[in-house]
Amino acid sequence: MPRRRFSFRELPIVQWLTRGAVVLRWTLRIFLILLIIDLFYLAVIWPDWKKLAAGPVPVSSFIQEYKRERVGRHDWPDLRWQPVTLQAIPKTVQRAVILSEDSRFYTHSGFDLLAFKEAMGRNLDEGRLVFGASTISQQTVKNIYLTRSRDPLRKWHELILTWGMEQSLTKHRILELYLNVAEFGHGVYGVQAAARHYWDRDVEQLTPQQAAELAATLPSPRKHNPATRSEAFDKRAQRVLRLLNRFPGDAADLLPPVPPAASPVTAKPAPSPRSVWGDRL
């Protein structure tokens, strides 16, 4: 009887590796197909950046969502939204929001890698996903075009759209959009509507303290705002006000005089506010 020839292909580990290679090959094929489909979807929904770069502030996706959800909910307040130009928003309000939400807004290209590294370090310390590192640019894209979902696909779309927006819009326009579509309370969108709602005055009349309170509202506007006056909100507002006095930037001429011991320091860059409290994902 002839002796059976030995084949390495018969070894269990070789068979396992062969099956693994087939699975990997098909996984990559499926991934590439899904990627192509998703890129086609992005091409279809790709915004008209020229239109967004000037003219009226568009109704955001979040505002549209609020309108839909409010139907039949008589306990929900009316929508409050009154967009204004960036020139009508005091420097103190602009500066307070930048310091609290995205201190490197004018120097990054839409993504703050330093803030991301810092946030991931804090998440590891906490042992759970608590802190994010979304920039003002990312939050603007999310508010105008996306949803509140935290799934990876939404985050991927946010990254791509943020890149597109940063290539097409000025930083001043991005800030103007954000300040007009950000949520500042249940049904309250934009700094003008927030100023009217909380203090019955126009945003251009807000004091530095009120500017700090608006900025402190942003991380969780429905729970912590000038109406709820939670302990966390008061602490955030005071922290923002201290940052505003220490790093006033172009809002310096609008701030009240401070004692010499607490005079503004301009030699150092403003610390990342994400080291003060959490950001959103």
Three-state DSSP class for residue 63 = helix
- What pLDDT does residue 270 have? 43
**In angstroms, rounded to a whole number, what is the distance separating the alpha carbons of residues 185 and 220?**
8
Number of residues assigned to the chain:
281
Does domain 48-275 fall under CATH 3.30.300.20? My reply is: no
> pLDDT tens digits, residue range 198-242?
999 999 999 999 999 999 999 899 999 999 999 999 999 999 999
Alpha-carbon dihedral sign for residues 190, 191, 196, 202: negative
pLDDT in tens, 110-145: 998 776 666 555 555 555 444 457 899 999 999 999
**109-to-23, 25, 39, 232 alpha-carbon distances in Å:** 38, 36, 22, 31
CA quadruple 86, 87, 93, 96: dihedral positive or negative? Answer: positive
Strands of the 188-189 sheet, one edge to the other: 80-81, 188-189, 183-185
Q: What distance in Å separates the CA atoms of residue 277 and residue 281, rounded to the nearest whole number?
A: 13
33-77: per-residue pLDDT in tens?
988 998 888 888 899 999 999 989 999 999 999 999 999 898 999
d(CA 137, CA 180): 13
Domain ranges within the chain, ordered by starting residue: 16-45, 48-275
8 Å CB contact between 211 and 90? yes
Quote the CA–CA distance of 198 and 226 in Å, as a whole number: 7
Which of the pair, 276 or 174, is modelled with greater confidence? Answer: 174
pLDDT, average across residues 167-176: 97
